[in-house]
Amino acid sequence: MTRLNDPEALFKYALDLMCIAGTDGVFRNVNPAWIDTLGFDEAFLLEAPFMDLVHPEDRDATHLALNKLEHGLKVIDFENRVRHKQGHYIWVQWRAHISEDDHTLFYAIGRDITKAKRKALRTENDIRLLEMAENTAHVGHWHLNTQTGLLKWSNEVYNIYGRKPNTADISLDDFIGAFVGADRAVVWTQVENAIRNGTDIQTDARLLRDDNATCYVSVRAVCEKDDHDKVVGLFGIIQDITVEKQHHESLRSKEELMSMAFRATSDGIWDWDLQTDQVWFSPQWKAQLGYTDEEISNSFESWADLICDEDREKAMDELERHFRGETPRFEMVQRLRHKDGHYIFILSRAEALRNEQGQPIRLVGAHTDITEMKQLEQAKSEFTSIVSHELRTPLTAIHGALGLLSNTMSKDLPPPVKNLVEIANNNSNRLILLVNDILDMEKLQSARMDFNITSVAVEELLSLALKNHQAYASQYNVTLTLAPQVPPSSLYVLADSDRLMQVISNLLSNAIKFSNEGGTVTLTTDCKDGQVVISILDTGRGIPKSLQKKVFDKFIQADSSDQRAKGGTGLGLSIAKALIEKMNGKIALKSIEGKGSTFSVTLPEA
C-alpha cells in the first residue's frame, strides 16, 4: 500500500472542510477550504468557539454527536448547518474521529451538501404537494411492477380503500379483490390485457372499502414498456367518483321525472332560450293543436303563425312587460288555430329566468287548454241572460200592478190586504233590482255591454243625480249638498253618460241609505293632471277596514242584515267598478268606521 508522504498537501488542497478541534470546543487547525466554503479566515476560526458557527437548532445534536466521541466511539457521522460569513447557513455532512494519541482532540472532515439537501427538500415538498393534490381531487396513483409483482400505492389510494397509509406489501389480488361483483372481473380482464397486450386500462367500478362502504371509482392506467416493447409495469390512477356518480344519477332521475311529468300532464310545455333564440315545444303542446311532434317546427314563428291576429299584439305587449320586470309572470288567454281550422282557448303562463343583472335569458311556460271551460262559461252566461230577460218582463208587469194597488188604490183595501200588497210591492221591486244587476254583471263579463263614450258635462250630470235622489234623501232625513273644489260648470269627462249616471246613482243611494238620520251627503268635484275626480262623502256608519278591499267584490255586504234592512243586492259596487274601469277610470274608497265614507270616481277629462 502506498504510504501518504505529503499529508500537508492533502490538507491544503482538499475541497472538503478539514479541521482539528479540541473537546474544549475550539479549533486547533483548519484547512483553506473553510475560506472557500464559509468565507471565514483561519485567524477568525481559531479564536471563536466553533459551536458559535453552528445553527442554533442543530447545536444540541452536534453536542450529542461529539459527546459520543469523547465517550469511546471512534468515528461518528452527523450533519448540521454552519453559518457562512455572509449570514446564511451551509449544510455540512461531517465525519469525525477522536485522536488516538490525544483524547482531547478530534479530526473532522466536512462536505458541503447544501445543494443535495435543497433538492431533497424540494422533492419532499413536491411529494407533499402531490399528496395534497391527490387528496383534494380524490385521485391516488399506483404502480405495478409486472416483473416482480410489486405494487405501490400513494397515500390517497389507501384513503380511497378506507385504509390507513402503511408500508406493508400490497398484492394485485388485494387491489382487485376489493371491487364488487361483476366489476371485479372487468378490472381483472383489463389488467390482464394490459400486461399481455400493452393496452390501456380505463373503467369505472364499484369498490367495497375496508369500512364496508361502497364507493364508485374510476381506474385508469398506461403501460410501461422496455426497449423490446415488453410491458414491465403499469402506472395508473384511481379516482373516487362517488359524488359525481350520485349527482349524475340524481340528475338523470330528475330528468326522467321531468319527462314523465311532461308526458303525464295534459298541459303543453314550452321553453324559449332568449340568448340563442331556440324554442322547444313539448309534444303535448303540439297535440293540443292537433299536430304531431314532427308537424310543427320548434320555432318562435310557429307560435306567431298560430296565434289569432287579435291576440298577437296583446301577447307581445304582455311579453315585453314581463321581460321589463313589470309583471311577476306572463299570463294571458290567447286563441290559437287548431289544425282543423277552429280556434282553441289557451291559458298561457310563463316565467322568465334572469341573469345576475336581472335580464331575462330564458322563458319557460305552460299551455292549458281552457276551451271547454270557456264554452261552459259562455253557456252559463247565455243561460243567465235568457232567464233574467224572461223574468224581467213578467216582473215589471207584476211590479206595476202592485205599485198601482199600493199607491192609488190602497185606500180601498182592507188594512191586512194593504199590508200584504205593500210587502209584495217591496219584494217585487227588490227582485227587479236584482235581475237588472245580474243582467248588467253578465253583460260586463261577456263584454256585451256597449259604451258610448262622449264628452259629458259634469255639472249637468251631478245636478240631475242630486235631483233624482232628493226624495230618497228626505226619506232618510239626509241633506244632499254640492261642494265643488273646482266649479263643475267647467268640467267635462270622457264617459258614457248613462253608465256614469248609473254609477253616481249607486254611490249616492248607498251614501244616503248608510247615513245616520240628520246626516249630510256631499258631492265634490276636482281636477288634477287631466283627470276629473267626483267624490261622494257621507257621515254615516263607515265601512270596517277588513271589508274595504272586498267591498267591490260581488255579493259583499258589510252587515248581513243590510239586505233586509236597507235593500240592495251586494252587486252595485262591483258593477260600478267594472263600469268605471271600462270607461278608463278608477274608483276608490276611503272610510273610517263610525265616521263616514268617501267614494271617488276618477275619469279622464274631456
Q: Which is nearer to ligand ADP, 497 or 557 (CB)?
A: 557
Which range, of 162-170, 207-215, 443-451, 564-572, touches ligand ADP by CB under 6 A?
564-572
597 touches ligand ADP (CB under 6 A): yes
Instruction: Tell me: does residue 588 bind ligand ADP (CB under 6 A).
Output: no
Q: How far is the CB of 576 from ligand ADP (least distance, A)?
A: 7
* 570 touches ligand ADP (CB under 6 A): yes
Q: Using the rule CB under 6 A, is 476 a contact of ligand ADP?
A: no
428 binds ligand ADP (CB under 6 A): no
Nearer to ligand ADP, 191 or 558 (CB): 558
CB 314 within 8 A of CB 256: no
Instruction: From 37-45, 287-295, 333-341, 503-511, give the range in contact with ligand ADP by CB under 6 A.
Output: 503-511
The 3-state secondary structure of 259-278, one letter per residue: HHHHHHCCCEEEEEECCCCE
Q: Which of 33, 456, 511, 523 binds ligand ADP (CB under 6 A)?
A: 511
Stretch that binds ligand ADP, among 50-58, 65-73, 76-84, 549-557 (CB under 6 A): 549-557
Check binding of 558 to ligand ADP (CB under 6 A). yes
DSSP one-letter string for 122-146: HHHHHHHHHHHHHHHHTEEEEEEET
| Gap between the Cα atoms of 288 and 347, Å rounded | 12
Q: Interface with ligand ADP includes 50 (CB under 6 A)? A: no
- Number of residues near ligand ADP (by CB under 6 A): 21
335580464: which residue's cell?
Answer: 359
| Contact predicate 540/511, CB 8 Å | yes
Interacting residue with ligand ADP among 295, 460, 559, 581 (CB under 6 A): 559
3-state secondary structure of 2: coil
Could you say which of 61, 73, 556, 606 contacts ligand ADP (CB under 6 A)?
Answer: 556
**DSSP secondary structure string for all residues of 356-398:** TTS-EEEEEEEEEE-HHHHHHHHHHHHHHHHHHHHHHHHHHHH
Bridging pattern class, strands 214-225 and 201-208: antiparallel
Candidates 110-118, 162-170, 443-451, 538-546: pick the segment binding ligand ADP (CB under 6 A).
538-546
- Does residue 551 bind ligand ADP (CB under 6 A)? yes
Residue nearer to ligand ADP on the CB measure, 34 or 514? 514
Nearer to ligand ADP among residue 138 and residue 513 (C-beta): 513
Q: By the 8 A CB rule, do 443 and 504 touch?
A: no
Distance, CA of 512 to CA of 516 (rounded, Å): 8
- Report if residue 519 touches ligand ADP, rule: CB under 6 A: no
Q: Mark 557-592 as b/e (b = at least 16 C-beta within 10 Å).
A: bbeeeeeeeeebbbbbbbbbbbbbebbebebebebe
C-alpha cell at 552: 267591490
Stretch near ligand ADP under the rule CB under 6 A, chosen from 207-215, 461-469, 497-505, 508-516: 508-516
Minimal CA–CA distance to 38: which of 5, 73, 86?
86
Determine the Cα–Cα distance for residues 393 and 390; give it in Å rounded to an integer.
6
Instruction: Please select the residue that binds ligand ADP; options are 538, 577, 585, 602, rule is CB under 6 A.
Output: 538
Check residue 522 for interaction with ligand ADP (CB under 6 A).
no
Select 349 or 554, whichever has its Cβ closest to ligand ADP.
554
How far CA 602 is from CA of 524, 597, 599, in Å, comes to 12, 16, 10
The reply on whether position 541 binds ligand ADP by CB under 6 A is yes
The whole-angstrom separation of Cα 278 and Cα 298 is: 8
Judged by CB under 6 A, the stretch of 113-121, 164-172, 477-485, 569-577 that binds ligand ADP is 569-577
The footprint of ligand ADP (CB under 6 A) covers 506, 510-511, 514, 538, 540-541, 543, 551, 556-559, 562, 568-573, 597
